[in-house]
Amino acid sequence: MTLPFDTSLAMKLVPLYLLVGIGFALGRFGGVKGQDLGRLALFVLSPAVVFKGFVSADLKGALLILPFAVFGLCSGIALLTAPVAGRFWRDGRERMAAFTGGTGNTGFFGIPACLALAGPESLPYVVMVSFGATAYENSVGFYTVARAEASVGGAIVRVLKYPGLHACWIGAALNLSGTKVPVAAMQAVDLLSGGFVPVGMMIVGLGLAQIRSLRLDLGFTAFTFAVKFALWPALALAFIAVDRAWLHVFGRVGHQVLLIESLVPLAAVTVVHATLRNIHPDRAAIAVAASTLFALVWLPLVFSRFG
């Protein structure tokens, strides 16, 4: 019997679910709070991941187009989504909806998904897509969330103070100039970046631990699902059709990566922001967890039809 989902992909995600379970246990039985871990992930571990990615990437050729295109698309969707979400909420959820609408779990979920479905040759494309999404999360995305609790000027100041933004341009500048980073410094960056995935997934578990009654925020979840699982794939398929017919920028593997990355679940960092700013972290955690489970079925179904 053929299952309606990719079992190899599901098995690759088992360690991530175990980390979520550890975070849940720490929050429910150990009294651990997510705010401190959120600050650690957002201001230390995430910038290390960003710096490592940009300083070691192959920033040339056709692949160089991808991060800029993805960054522009992420930013555009977030800025267009914000006023629409503002018609439904005024308690910070509108900013969280806009932020998460502009990105997805391109790293934790996207990398294993692309490797499982498109093969190892997809990795360069995956990395560049992740760079674009990460650049958005650390600039326009951070501004979008900060606007929930500050003026426009105040939000911009917060973005300029955010280490992740500077990790982007410093890493890219060192890469493009050919400057070698000292070995000891890169070893420290490697250690820090290695902690981002486990800490990030445990934060999702900590957010779930705050739930005392399993109450799904249908409005917020439906809104984010519509953007993530309908709008994003539609845009990806439209671009793929145009590229195949006229542009001829990317080949089959590139198109597969774009389709897969458009179908990944909500970004886990959504829970980090929600926890750090106390914007309904329980609802954000449920939405992220539900989207991850949904993507396990939805992604291979759409990919088998259009990939």
* DSSP per-residue codes, 226-246: HIIIIIHHHHHHHHHHHIIII
Q: Cα(82)–Cα(215) distance, rounded to whole angstroms?
A: 24
Cα pseudo-dihedral 25, 27, 32, 35, rounded to 10: 130
Q: Are 150 and 169 in contact (CB under 8 A)?
A: no
Backbone dihedral region for residue 291 (phi beyond 0: left; psi -120 to 50: alpha; all else: beta)? alpha
Could you give the CA distance from residue 227 to residue 272 in angstroms, rounded to a whole number? 20
Residue found by looking up tokens 């259009």 in the block? 306
CA distance 26 to 265: 24
State the Cα–Cα distance between residues 110 and 126, nearest whole angstrom: 7
**Residues 85-139: pLDDT tens digits?**
999 998 889 999 999 999 998 876 787 788 778 887 887 788 788 888 988 887 8
pLDDT score of 148: 58
pLDDT along the chain (307 residues), means of 10: 55 77 90 81 83 77 82 94 93 92 85 79 80 84 76 70 82 90 94 84 77 76 96 96 92 92 91 82 86 84 83
Q: What are phi and psi of 43, to 5 degrees?
A: -105, -10
pLDDT for 10 equals 61
- Quote the pLDDT of residue 235: 97
Q: Which of 235, 277, 297, 298 is nearest to 34 (CA)?
A: 277
Give Cα 171 distance to the centre of its chain: 19
Of 254, 268, 248, 67, the C-alpha closest to 175 is 67
Architecture of the domain made up of 7-306: Up-down Bundle (1.20)
Place of tokens 């739930």: 211
C-alpha 125, offset from chain centre: 16
* pLDDT at residue 192, as a whole number: 92
To the question of pTM greater than 0.85 for the whole model, the response is no
CB 269 within 8 A of CB 201: no
Structure-token pair, residue 100: 């998460």
Neighbour-count burial of 217, counting CB atoms closer than 10 A to its CB (0-12 exposed, 13-18 middle, 19+ buried): middle
Q: Domain spans of the chain? A: 7-306
pLDDT for residue 168 = 79
Distances (CA, A) of 148 to 91, 94, 179, 279: 8, 8, 38, 9
pLDDT at 283: 85
Backbone angles phi, psi at 188, to 5 degrees: -65, -40
Q: What is the pLDDT of residues 196-230, one digit of tens each?
A: 778 877 877 887 777 666 667 899 999 999 999 99
Question: What beta strand segments (E) does the chain contain?
Answer: none
